[in-house]
Amino acid sequence: MIEGTILTALNGILTDKAYISVPEVKPDRFYVIQKTGSTFTDKVKTATLVIQSYAPTMYDASDMNELMKTAMLGLISRPDISSVKLNSDYNYTDTTEKTCRYQAVFVVTYFD
């Protein structure tokens, strides 16, 4: 499961903790990793992942987003990941809960 691979990798690199879903008890700053799609061709898998950066302020969420993008793009050095492409990133504030967050969309090509 690519989400688990990315979760373990980011938690080994970043200061703020990453999760697969929003935790019941929310820390002030955290990341959420979600897979939104995938393909599989000739033993090569590709997944579209979104990673949300949650923080108390937009500045902090933006800063976390930048740190996470650098960490994600660095995963290309892993033998099980052949490509990491940033598709887009943007302010993704939750206006209902008034939560500051950024979201980055990645396309990751990997081998199981």
Q: What's the topology of domain 2-110?
A: STM4215-like (3.30.2000)
Helix (H, G, I), strand (E, B) or coil at 88: strand
DSSP string for residues in 19-83: ESS--SS--SSEEEEEEEEEEEETTEEEEEEEEEEEESSHHHHHHHHHHHHHHHHHGGGSTTEEE
Where are the domains positioned within the chain? 2-110
pTM: 0.94
Q: What is the pLDDT of residue 97?
A: 84
pLDDT band, residue 95 (cuts 50/70/90): confident
Angle at which helices 58-74 and 2-13 pack, to 10 degrees? 110
